[in-house]
Amino acid sequence: MNLLYSFCIALLAACGVYLLLSRNLLRTVLGVALLSAATNLVIFFAGRLGFTQPPVIVEGEEVLRAGAANPLPQALVLTAIVIGFALVAFASALVLRTYRALGTLDGRKLRAAEALGTPFSDGGRDDA
């Protein structure tokens, strides 16, 4: 079971890295989103998988029962999901803005920062 889970996380991370290396800017953002999903699964995995009860205190008791799941990784995953959501939202807005400024989503056309401080006196070569 653990092995299957690890393979799935590895597959997800591999897809994320493949997308991250893509030329299309939006695919890069999708790659980041997939990688953060894989990382969330790793955090969840760190809390040990198993058939347990949800970590909710039963009505009338004071502490968690012995067979309940570990609530800490779930809290960590929630935090990571919220942060990841904010970052992917910002990155998507950035890509949209770049598309509106450049007219294309091709990463090879993204040369403005290099041209701004280029040490070559001809302003850098644009060969795309």
Partner 1 sequence: MRSLIFSALARPLFGLMLAVSVIILFRGHNEPGGGFVGGLVAAAGFAILALADGGGRARAALRVHPVELMGAGLLLSFVSGLPGLFSNGSFLTHLWITLPVGGGLKLGTTMVFDLGVYLVVLGGVLALILRLYEEPSA
Partner 2 sequence: MLERLMDTAVVWPVAVPIATAALTACLWTRPRAQRVASGIGLWAMFAAALGLLAVVVRDGVQAKQFGSWAAPFGISFVGDPLGAALVAITGLLAVAAGTFGLADIRRRQERAGFHPLLHGMLAGVNGAFLTGDIFNLYVWFEVMLITAMGLLVLDRTRAQLDGTFRYAVLNLLSTILFLMGVALLYGSTGTLNMADLAVVLPRLEPSASLTVASLLLLCGFGIKAGFFPLFFWLPASYHTAPITVSALFAGLLTKVGVYACFRVFTLVFSLEGTGIREIVAVIAGGTMLFGVLGAAVQWDVRRILSFHIVSQIGYMLLGLAVATPAALAGAVFYIVHHIVVKANLFLLAGAIHRASGTYDLRKAGGLMGRNPLLAGLFLVPALSLAGIPPLSGFWAKLMVIDASFRGGAGWLGALALVVGLLTLYSMSKIWMEAFWKAPVLPRTRARPVPLAMVLPIAALGAVTLTIGLFAEPFVEYARMAADALLDPQAYVAAVAPVLPPEAR
Interface residues toward partner 2, by CB under 8 A: 20, 25, 28, 32, 35-36, 39, 42-43, 45-48, 72-73, 76, 79-80, 83, 86-87, 90-91, 94-95, 97-98, 101-102, 110-119, 121
Closer to partner 1 by CB, 49 or 96: give it.
Answer: 96
96 binds partner 1 (CB under 8 A): yes
Phi-psi category of 69—alpha, beta or left, where left has phi over 0 and alpha has psi -120 to 50? Answer: beta
99 binds partner 1 (CB under 8 A): yes
54 binds partner 1 (CB under 8 A): no
What's the burial of 40, exposed, middle or buried (CB within 10 Å: 0-12/13-18/19+)? buried
Q: How far is CA 8 from CA 5, 13, 60, 103, in A?
A: 5, 9, 39, 37
By CB under 8 A, the count of residues binding partner 1 is: 8
- Contact present, 46 and 116 (Cβ < 8 Å): no
- Contact present, 93 and 73 (Cβ < 8 Å): no
> Least CB distance from residue 89 to partner 1, whole Å?
6
Residues forming the site for partner 1 (CB under 8 A): 82, 86, 89, 93, 96, 99-100, 103
